Structure 1
């Protein structure tokens, strides 16, 4: 059945049949299995598969396996297509079954959905059928443009110049009349050279070529649907004579207008279908076919993605080179005191994190809050048969067994105010550890002295006292100092205090540390709205600035980022909905270039207990929530820890590693925006991106591909909680379920890489994706491969 925008038909299928297409065509095998040949390659086509062809493409059906095959053909009118997409005349499309495993699965499923919906509407008697068909056609064309172009020019242009749209519309309305570049330029108050340059830049080809191609395409209406002769057709469509028309027609379609018209209506070769006048029709009472179309039009929601809302498209052409070694920063997981390690749940969380993440240190804020009763008894009774710190002996065993060091953040302000006995008890505890475990046990201990920049002089005195004490207990313990340097100057303003710090503190240090919290910097500006882009990689930039300051002081000690955060929000709702996976990952992947290690909190409870000021304004970077629910920071570190081998390509949105014959490609979509917008779903959807990835240097192989998608719907506990609308507290079963489902999505498929890796994927706002390519079968090397 024909209308001015498309042609829909049911094709008869027989073996050894050849199809020749005159328009952009989608074939939809609704039912059946067959083998086809196109572009010199053979493809197995099964139920639900789609194929796309361009004008003058051919398809040969080589074998059918069932007699009840049903093949629907949807031809898109070139004139209608070009009216929506000016680049149509220089664009080719492609879709074969193999592309299901090239990252286009969701796009293919959506395309199939809209083709099925269009077919159902086409054969229905509903009063709204024309509206539904129009909606489906626009969605189909949008998907073709976004995901199935052979050429990559689309990715170089995201928005057309408004002026060029007006010009194209003007040409479309006046192509039948004599049109010259000078005349059109004058109409739009431009010089001919300016119009020519703009037209080429925005459409991809010259004004005269566009006009000629448009006239030839428009002539098809008269050629195929009227009895006008060739001379009349050429004059009706803006050509000065039929000779010029014939020349340009043959350039575009490969044959003369007369031969093209003959082939459209008849053919002497019974194996070739050019464009049949009559094809099989789909009767409304054929319930089998209609039921199948209905199935494809109404797939379960979790099998399709609403990808039409993706507004940004990027092409990543990745070329390999030896960039750098893999991430090697030491990860610190903070708890409050050593006593917390007596808790079985805390130990379980640490072991789970240890398995997924290369944890080196357990960070503590205090050794213990109160001296244990066993120590009091020991002092009073002097009974050496009892261990004075018996309950901590199990903690020491846990640390030693799992090769975990201690990163002790000792507040110098607190140290100044505590009693002599408090200090003595803790000193004795350290001596107890040495007797219990030996000197080597302390090689993995760091004491990071925390300076209060408002009481810098007192802190310098306290630091000296602690340093002398630790030297007497065991000089193997490393001593560090927190740097009193802050945004934006990263310097000590008082020259006397600065001199004392540099002379009395730095020479005694084995390492230095700092903390970074961009939210306070963001919040300080109350009058002028801060530029959020300034907070892109804020922590990494702050680390670089501190390193520069240290270099100016000729200091080269290891630097630890003990605690840090990304930009977030001030309310629990904002914190939860502001998914920050890519923000954390981007910082992590760069921080190890400037710091020796960085810290995270073990869980929400530990973090909130540690904060002196309540209510807590900003979420920290915690590994767990409750009931072993993994927070985004856990998944970020776990993904980063999976990377092996050499980094062979690194960009603002990707990292590629190679380990023997295997590859890992990590992608992320970083979006910095005012945190309150995280509650606006429409805005969040607008931040998603479609990536087309090309890596020509990936070796020719068959690979098993593991794809891990980490985004706000797969890996963020806040969004999983959205399915639980009860105001009452959830029971353990519900929390256990949430802990299980709030995890990144994984799928595995086989992929042949021949002459380079080409892949599509969609990343939601601040989402992360990991592709792991494991070689399973080797292909012959290309001639240009060494």
Structure 2
């Protein structure tokens, strides 16, 4: 199919109530509410769309507009006919913004609005703008809304053959085609083609061909003045009576009536009433959705963006928090340090976590082994102490029993690394040690207590281990997938023999540098008799990473973690629906010598990623708890770019306060969108969390570790646009309220900004450290507000990376 102008690449239809929609594979079809609202039903799911919300329709599904008020359109982007010949595979898209307003959905909504403004102008002077916005929307859909399936090679071949058949039908539907003809053409049997086609596409071969022909008829009736009989013949129908019946059955209207309603002459100077209504609706949209004729993202500096929302104080839903489940404590031997125990106590007092993740628990540093006449005697005294510290501070152990080493990665090389064990043991020997260890724990801490723990088995990554200097290199067979699966089977059975309720899983899989290998291994693993109770993953958003980690760059995609979780976890749950999926490690960098780790950027980064990923229903564990774990001989300064939320000397860093803000939120969610999170607690108490996340990777692919130069690297982070938030809360009880505001910014809650001019001489005394520990806190203000009507307006200006928590409590 050829397209003579950019306007042929897209089509917009105004929708009506009770309309049935059956998407076709070659187009990306999106329902978009310009103004008003619409309820869209697909099978048992109903999507209630409000103004500026959308839903992407999936092929093989049938949708019905069951309620409609205002202006609602169906936008159809030509896709397969434009891109298939280059990509040679079919893509499917899905997504919606119903009750979900992350920055991804909001950005697509803005793009669709801009597209409609240009589309309805039908101005030939906008041809280049239409091309630009068309490819811009397609690129955005491909990046964030294309369904990703990590299929096995056999399944890919299986689907590839059907995709070839679909492509053939799309290009030849206008002539007579039969199932037997196509089967012969592709050298497959008719029964096989019929069965596999329906399995892949969701509808039969005949139904797909009929739908494709009817869509061709619809377009020709709308855009040409040909006789209806000619239109039918041109689209593959040989019998007019049969065609008329099929058309009416599909669309609820005769072809002639459809043409009377929808055909508009090309040279019509008058825009129909519906189009005028649509244009009026577009004008009424919120100011922050205004279209730009030249569709380019402007990289403005120090301009002010404004976000305004209106919410009901009594309209809420319950939600599950994902930020207080697990925290990475660190390498087991380091936990025995006295000052670290104090830091754990401090953390659990103000920002308590349910589980503390520890590795190296069975390393040579932790187990005392003595030869006896009747075998080896194992002393778990050090391990007991680590577990006692966790339990004393009301934290459940999340113990990695694998051979994960301790390593500290710097700007240009691995600063420190220590081998897990220098002893060569067989899989069965490890199984006996683990069984004895779990039995010891049950005897010491009780069966009920141990049954609530997690036991993890780390899977060695060849890429990671090859980059570590100073670590004893493992035999290749120990790194391989077969060894790991055999190893896990032995460990799993050893643990379950002692405590069957314990959760056993693993294996710290990378979803960045090892994504493809990870998917292939999990596919095999979940088909075995011994399956994991949970899977753990690490995500560090790196666009580039060499074999020594000396050249790593933060991804320019600010939704990197969100996309990795969404695309992979959906597929893993399809393989085994009851497997628990856990993000065991995430951060924006692998380096423990990056000044950005000490900046206020990490506060907004942490909040943004926890909130954005709540919908995935997964525990997430931030990397890392304390800078003590990344302390080494090169760490002379008070702050040295460690990934902890608390410094080596116990000074709370900005991500620590971010956790405090998150923990202050209520359990009832009123509103969520990019930068705004509003909750409530019982007793007329509201919490408004505002955060101005500004991604650091977009304009300069920022984090080349060895190019970073300490404190001066954080200065450019603040040269961004400010952002104004206005939150209008209706349905408030009249009376007096106490409003408490806490804010993390350059002046308050950012230790690196306080020390930037003083700390270069490295000479800071203990009393000075104590002073900073007590004064480097978020700014807090208190005021009383009087709500005379039922409306409370909160308007705040935030500079880049700032985070503000506003707590509004009714005064009885």
Tell me the equivalent position of 1:768: 803
Q: Could you tell me how far apart the structure 2 residues matched to 1:697 and 1:471 are?
A: 53
Q: 1:718 to 1:709 in 2, by over 3 A?
A: same
**Which whole-Å deviations, capped at 9, do the CAs of 1:667-706 have from their partners, x for residues lacking one?**
1111113374984747724322232332223332211111
Task: Describe the SS at the equivalent of 1:563.
Answer: strand
Task: Return the match for 2:346 from 340, 347, 352.
Answer: 352
**Which whole-Å deviations, capped at 9, do the CAs of 1:470-520 have from their partners, x for residues lacking one?**
22333333111237563599555897x565323237x52111111100035
Q: Could you tell me how far apart the structure 2 residues matched to 1:676 and 1:468 are?
A: 46
Q: Could you tell me how far apart the structure 1 residues matched to 2:533 and 2:376 are?
A: 38
Q: Is the 2:737–2:786 contact (alpha carbons within 8 Å) kept by the matching residues of 1?
A: yes
Q: Deviation of residue 605 (structure 1)? A: 2.4
Q: Is the 1:335–1:607 contact (alpha carbons within 8 Å) kept by the matching residues of 2?
A: no
Tell me the equivalent position of 2:793: 758
Task: Describe the SS at the equivalent of 1:593.
Answer: helix
Superposed, 1:249-398 pairs within 5 Å as 311-320=304-313, 321-328=315-322, 330-370=324-364, 376=370, 388-390=379-381, 392-398=383-389
More helix by share: 1
Q: Could you tell me how far apart the structure 2 residues matched to 1:372 and 1:483 are?
A: 21
Q: Deviation of residue 564 (structure 1)? A: 0.5
Q: Deviation of residue 656 (structure 1)? A: 1.1
Tell me the equivalent position of 2:105: none
Do structure 1's residue 504 and structure 2's residue 539 form an aligned pair?
no
Q: 1:413 to 1:709 in 2, by over 3 A?
A: closer
Tell me the equivalent position of 1:419: 424
Do structure 1's residue 669 and structure 2's residue 662 form an aligned pair?
no
Tell me the equivalent position of 2:733: 699
Q: Could you tell me how far apart the structure 2 residues matched to 1:752 and 1:694 are?
A: 15
Q: Could you tell me how far apart the structure 1 residues matched to 2:768 and 2:309 are?
A: 41
Do structure 1's residue 549 and structure 2's residue 571 form an aligned pair?
yes
Q: Deviation of residue 555 (structure 1)? A: 3.2
Q: Could you tell me how far apart the structure 2 residues matched to 1:746 and 1:752 are?
A: 20
Q: Could you tell me how far apart the structure 2 residues matched to 1:466 and 1:609 are?
A: 33
Q: 1:407 to 1:725 in 2, by over 3 A?
A: closer
Task: Return the match for 2:453 from 445, 455, 462.
Answer: 445
**Which whole-Å deviations, capped at 9, do the CAs of 1:214-245 have from their partners, x for residues lacking one?**
xxxxxxxxxxxxxxxxxxxxxxxxxxxxxxxx
Larger radius of gyration: 1
Tell me the equivalent position of 1:85: none
Task: Describe the SS at the equivalent of 1:420.
Answer: coil
Task: Describe the SS at the equivalent of 1:686.
Answer: coil
Tell me the equivalent position of 2:139: none
Q: 1:522 to 1:317 in 2, by over 3 A?
A: farther
Task: Return the match for 1:580 from 602, 622, 625.
Answer: 602
Q: Is the 1:460–1:504 contact (alpha carbons within 8 Å) kept by the matching residues of 2?
A: no
Task: Return the match for 1:475 from 494, 500, 509.
Answer: 500
Task: Return the match for 1:738 from 759, 772, 776.
Answer: 772
Q: 1:394 to 1:463 in 2, by over 3 A?
A: closer
Q: Deviation of residue 442 (structure 1)? A: 0.8
* Bigger shift: residues 639-648 or 392-401: 392-401
Q: Could you tell me how far apart the structure 1 residues matched to 2:513 and 2:594 are?
A: 28
Q: Could you tell me how far apart the structure 1 residues matched to 2:702 and 2:632 are?
A: 26
Task: Return the match for 1:602 from 612, 625, 643.
Answer: 625
Do structure 1's residue 648 and structure 2's residue 648 form an aligned pair?
no
Gaps of 5+ in 2: 1-270, 272-278, 287-300, 406-419, 463-479, 635-639, 704-711
Tell me the equivalent position of 1:144: none
Tell me the equivalent position of 2:540: 517
Tell me the equivalent position of 1:711: 745
Q: Could you tell me how far apart the structure 1 residues matched to 2:584 and 2:578 are?
A: 18
Q: Is the 1:448–1:482 contact (alpha carbons within 8 Å) kept by the matching residues of 2?
A: yes
Q: Could you tell me how far apart the structure 2 residues matched to 1:760 and 1:750 are?
A: 15
Task: Return the match for 1:560 from 582, 585, 590.
Answer: 582
Q: Could you tell me how far apart the structure 2 residues matched to 1:584 and 1:668 are?
A: 10
Do structure 1's residue 486 and structure 2's residue 508 form an aligned pair?
no
Q: 1:623 to 1:530 in 2, by over 3 A?
A: closer
Q: Could you tell me how far apart the structure 2 residues matched to 1:519 and 1:723 are?
A: 31
Q: Could you tell me how far apart the structure 1 residues matched to 2:321 and 2:750 are?
A: 24
**Which whole-Å deviations, capped at 9, do the CAs of 1:250-281 have from their partners, x for residues lacking one?**
xxxxxxxxxxxxxxxxxxxxxxxxxxxxxxxx
Q: Deviation of residue 745 (structure 1)? A: 0.9
Tell me the equivalent position of 1:48: none
Q: 1:759 to 1:371 in 2, by over 3 A?
A: closer
Q: Deviation of residue 444 (structure 1)? A: 2.6
Tell me the equivalent position of 1:102: none
Task: Describe the SS at the equivalent of 1:359.
Answer: coil
Task: Describe the SS at the equivalent of 2:354.
Answer: strand
Task: Describe the SS at the equivalent of 1:624.
Answer: coil
Q: Deviation of residue 345 (structure 1)? A: 1.6
Q: Deviation of residue 742 (structure 1)? A: 2.1
Tell me the equivalent position of 1:44: none
Q: Deviation of residue 350 (structure 1)? A: 1.1
Superposed, 1:81-120 pairs within 5 Å as none
Tell me the equivalent position of 2:401: 410
Q: Could you tell me how far apart the structure 1 residues matched to 2:536 and 2:518 are?
A: 19
> How many pairs does the alignment contain?
465
Q: Is the 2:680–2:686 contact (alpha carbons within 8 Å) kept by the matching residues of 1?
A: yes
Q: Could you tell me how far apart the structure 1 residues matched to 2:437 and 2:387 are?
A: 12
Q: Could you tell me how far apart the structure 1 residues matched to 2:655 and 2:351 are?
A: 11
Q: 1:485 to 1:625 in 2, by over 3 A?
A: closer
Q: Deviation of residue 361 (structure 1)? A: 1.3
**Which whole-Å deviations, capped at 9, do the CAs of 1:25-46 have from their partners, x for residues lacking one?**
xxxxxxxxxxxxxxxxxxxxxx
Q: Could you tell me how far apart the structure 2 residues matched to 1:649 and 1:694 are?
A: 11
Tell me the equivalent position of 2:255: none
Q: Deviation of residue 592 (structure 1)? A: 3.5
Q: Could you tell me how far apart the structure 2 residues matched to 1:397 and 1:383 are?
A: 25
Q: Is the 1:569–1:578 contact (alpha carbons within 8 Å) kept by the matching residues of 2?
A: no
Q: Is the 2:554–2:588 contact (alpha carbons within 8 Å) kept by the matching residues of 1?
A: no
Q: Could you tell me how far apart the structure 1 residues matched to 2:807 and 2:439 are?
A: 48
Q: Is the 1:341–1:347 contact (alpha carbons within 8 Å) kept by the matching residues of 2?
A: yes
* Bigger shift: residues 724-733 or 764-773: 724-733
Q: Could you tell me how far apart the structure 1 residues matched to 2:424 and 2:586 are?
A: 31
Question: What is the RMSD computed on CA atoms of the aligned residues?
Answer: 4.4
Tell me the equivalent position of 2:104: none
Task: Describe the SS at the equivalent of 2:785.
Answer: strand
Q: Could you tell me how far apart the structure 2 residues matched to 1:725 and 1:330 are?
A: 33
Q: Deviation of residue 586 (structure 1)? A: 1.2
Q: Could you tell me how far apart the structure 1 residues matched to 2:404 and 2:689 are?
A: 43
Q: Could you tell me how far apart the structure 2 residues matched to 1:744 and 1:633 are?
A: 11
Tell me the equivalent position of 2:468: none
Q: Is the 1:721–1:738 contact (alpha carbons within 8 Å) kept by the matching residues of 2?
A: no
Task: Describe the SS at the equivalent of 2:443.
Answer: helix
Task: Describe the SS at the equivalent of 1:444.
Answer: coil
Tell me the equivalent position of 1:436: 444
Task: Describe the SS at the equivalent of 1:703.
Answer: strand
Q: Is the 2:526–2:576 contact (alpha carbons within 8 Å) kept by the matching residues of 1?
A: no
* Bigger shift: residues 569-578 or 739-748: 569-578
Q: Could you tell me how far apart the structure 1 residues matched to 2:633 and 2:621 are?
A: 14
Q: Deviation of residue 337 (structure 1)? A: 4.0
